[in-house]
Amino acid sequence: MTVYEGSFTPPARPFRFALVIARFNDLVTEKLLSGCQDCLKRHGIDVDPAGTQVDYIWVPGSFEVPLVTRKLAVSGQYDAIICLGAVIRGQTPHFDFVAGEAAKGIAAIASQTGVPVIFGILTTDTMQQALERAGIKSNHGWGYAMNALEMASLMRAMAPLTTTK
């Protein structure tokens, strides 16, 4: 039997990532983005928007994330896509619709296209909780980037399983 797992060593053929970022609650999402970029950079990825390894796509809110992510996934250009958003409950039922659609949409895209899509959409009751997860206590953006690196690497390691003989 074989063990398949991702590694964090930069591969010979560089990875390409797309980051989809919601502007809504950008006080939070910009911090998640910084954490993400910091992690990617420290793992040898060129995060410069003018470079060839990371593309950045801004959308109005988390609800719009799946539409854009699907387009990116089917393009076949990316080893993984990281989705960043912050849905904060407040006093409105809007939260459940926005968070639910974003989660459902992202899960469906990954399973339908075979491209790893990282669910980096914080869902919290308060802005304070969101900020704590975006850098005040720890930055979940860093973890999302680690997940993308691991999944991108794992997909390449598993490539022999999908090669037809």
Q: Enumerate the active-site residues.
A: 94
CA dist., res. 56 & res. 116, Å (int): 16
- Segment lying near ligand INI (by CB under 6 A), choices 69-77, 92-100, 104-112, 152-160: 92-100
CA dist., res. 130 & res. 136, Å (int): 9
Does 22 engage in binding with ligand INI (CB under 6 A)? yes
Closest-CA residue to 27 (of 138, 134, 141): 134
Report the nearest approach of ligand INI to the CB of residue 102 (Å).
8
Does 25 engage in binding with ligand INI (CB under 6 A)? yes
CA dist., res. 142 & res. 124, Å (int): 18
Closest residue to ligand INI, Cβ-based?
Answer: 61
**Subset of residues 26 to 85 that bind ligand INI, contact rule: CB under 6 A:** 60-64, 85
* Shorter beta-carbon distance to ligand INI: residue 45 or 99: 99
Which one of residues 72, 98, 110, 117 is an interface residue with ligand INI (CB under 6 A)?
Answer: 98
- Segment lying near ligand INI (by CB under 6 A), choices 13-21, 88-96, 106-114, 143-151: 88-96
Report the nearest approach of ligand INI to the CB of residue 77 (Å).
25
- Segment lying near ligand INI (by CB under 6 A), choices 19-27, 35-43, 135-143, 147-155: 19-27
87 is in an annotated binding site: yes
119 is in an annotated binding site: yes
Closest-CA residue to 65 (of 49, 45, 86, 48): 86
62 is in an annotated binding site: yes
CA dist., res. 91 & res. 126, Å (int): 10
For residue 130, count other CB atoms closer than 10 A to its CB: 24
C-alpha distances out from residue 69 to 80, 103, 109, Å? 10, 12, 8
* Residue 163 one-letter amino acid: T
Enumerate the known binding-site residues: 24, 62-64, 86-88, 91-92, 119, 133
